[in-house]
Amino acid sequence: MKKGFTLIEVLVTLSILVILMSIVVPNYSELRKNIDKNKYILNSVLVYDYVKAHNEKNTFTKLSDLKVAIESNISVTDVELTIGGKGIETVKYKDKGNELKLVLDDKKFTYKLYLEGKVIYSGD
């Protein structure tokens, strides 16, 4: 008697593996998106804290110092600050290649985080 697997057994095993992979891969990519979104939100809170400290206490004497502090302490790049009547109103930066925009409202002490033009987080 010969030992080994028949072609049918191998094909059934491969088809079961393909079905399992079709379930796992989409779930993994969705999980990856959620992890990235949470990282963006966490970084936005940290950026907001730096900007709030600058607006309230004038912690950084120059805006370039604030940019350097944000870029070196938070893993973001290409920080652009827009100044309004009461201090910094918007912060644009890149995080993992994605452009994010943080819009601050000092009157209400809130902010909104935009990714690709859509609000992904509102902070109070």
Domain ranges of the chain: 41-123
74 CB neighbour count, 10 Å cutoff = 19
pLDDT on residue 105: 81
**Cβ–Cβ under 8 Å, residues 68 and 74:** no
User: Smallest Cα–Cα separation from 116: which of 98, 91, 102?
Assistant: 98
Tokens representing residue 93 in the block: 């930066």
pLDDT on residue 121: 87
What is the tens place of the pLDDT at every residue in 43-79?
888 888 888 888 777 766 788 888 888 888 888 889 9
**End-to-end Cα spacing for the chain:** 74
37 CB neighbour count, 10 Å cutoff = 14
